[in-house]
Structure 1
Amino acid sequence: MLNVEATIQAQFANSPSLGTIIEGFNQAIDPSALIDDWYENVWNPQTATGWGLDVWGRIVGVSRILQVSTTDYFGFSQGVPGAQTFGSGVFYNGGAVTSNYILSDDAFRRLIFAKAAANIWDGTIPSLNAILMSLFADRGLCYVSDNENMTMTFVFEFSPSPVDVSIIASGILPRPSGVGTTYIFTPYIDKNTDFGGDIL
């Protein structure tokens, strides 16, 4: 307690022996450090770790374990995550394409915020763009393009990590009901970059 002296009855307040015992007991059971730790590691989702983040995951309805693509297969570079072009990928043989991956605290926190944003999203494109930029602010530019035919395209102007791909392809990102979605990854290339040849 912060002011344990106020809880001692007046007739015992001047007893040094009793005061020492009560003060020692108060220091032994002082919950303030535990309350601070609880707030830091469990209650605040921006700083929660370990078990605290697992609790937040259960609250919003996501798991720390995601399916991460282990092999890139032949496709088109602007296609779904994991597609490779000629000479870079192999044909899909029907085998397992994913494996379980336990997210780190930082990646899981991003997944939790993505799901929480989907739960409270107001359904507008500007709000969705704001959600994308807050989730992937450290990765690069990303936005939504309305195709005006009941579909929209998530555009990511960066090369995604396997964890990014898992979050994006998990279906957690919000989208309007009845609207189809596609993903495009177009890493930004600086036109001033010297590749040892002429840029057309």
Structure 2
Amino acid sequence: MDIYDTILSQYSNSPRLCAIIESFSQAVDPEAFLNLWYDQVWNPATATGWGLDVWGRIVGVGRVLQLAAPGYIGFQEASSSGTSDAVRNFGTGVWFNGQAATSNYALTDDAYRRLIFAKAAANITDGSVTSLNAIVMTLFGDKGRCYVADNLDMSLTYSFGFEPTSVDLAIIYRSGVLPCPAGVRYQYAFVPAEVVDNDFAGDIS
């Protein structure tokens, strides 16, 4: 809105009066606030921080994911549980530094936005392979080849042709974003298969 269209011509040449009217217009004009609210909260494509957290609560997915424990270099008999689940060898484990690190990971705004869009699509999906593929591509389309295959025996397979990070694995196994139609068994396939360890083996259905 151009405030000068509302000023009578006899006052339009008064710099002091025009300055007062302009400052008052800026003080009461809600346009800047509404634009900021729309960009940072209302529009999920541009929302940030708290605005994305609100959208996450709406669609039902959190920003913080629980990652798999990395495992430490050692021997089976050194494990407190007596099993080799927490023990790794060179190349797959890390040295223990005496401090237990948290397994929680907070997603960045961009990563969380993609997760929100994928969860929103999962909430309204019709369960078709086309819809499931669209959700997978939303999450991992820029990482490499990934798709959903119908095995024609009341089961489907989520296939990933890239090496997933620990965050990717947490999204796949623990976020609850990848849907499965009712009565259909599902499984995950990674190529090459050796890139995924057994940290999430108990989560596979």
- What is the CA deviation profile of residues 43-83 of structure 1, one whole-angstrom value per residue up to 9, with x for unaligned ones? 2212211111111101111111111112269xxxxxxxx9x
Report the equivalent of 1:125. Answer: 129
1:126–1:72 Cα change, 3 Å: farther
Q: Give 1:178's match in structure 2, choosing from 179, 183, 199.
A: 183
- What is the CA deviation profile of residues 149-183 of structure 1, one whole-angstrom value per residue up to 9, with x for unaligned ones? 32211000001111111111122212211212211
Amino acid of the residue matched to residue 70 of structure 1?
A: A
Q: 2:114·2:138 contact (CA, 8 Å) conserved in 1? A: no
Q: Give 1:154's match in structure 2, choosing from 155, 158, 169.
A: 158
Question: Normalised by the size of structure 1, how large is the TM-score?
Answer: 0.71
User: Taking every aligned residue pair, what percent have the same amino acid on both sides?
Assistant: 56
Q: 1:155·1:184 contact (CA, 8 Å) conserved in 2? A: yes
The secondary structure found in structure 2 opposite 1:63 is coil
Report the equivalent of 1:167. Answer: 171
Deviates further, 35-44 or 102-111: 35-44
Report the equivalent of 2:66. Answer: 67
Mark the runs of 5 or more structure 2 residues left unpaired by the alignment: 73-84, 94-99, 194-205
Cα distance in structure 1, aligned partners of 2:120 and 2:29: 35
The secondary structure found in structure 2 opposite 1:148 is coil
Amino acid of the residue matched to residue 45 of structure 2?
A: Q
Report the equivalent of 1:26. Answer: 25
Q: 1:107·1:163 contact (CA, 8 Å) conserved in 2? A: no
The secondary structure found in structure 1 opposite 2:143 is coil
Report the equivalent of 2:140. Answer: 136
Cα distance in structure 2, aligned partners of 1:43 and 1:187: 41
Mark the runs of 5 or more structure 1 residues left unpaired by the alignment: 74-81, 91-95, 189-200
Cα distance in structure 2, aligned partners of 1:129 and 1:20: 58
Report the equivalent of 1:56. Answer: 55
Question: Normalised by the size of structure 2, how large is the TM-score?
Answer: 0.69
Cα distance in structure 1, aligned partners of 2:191 and 2:23: 64
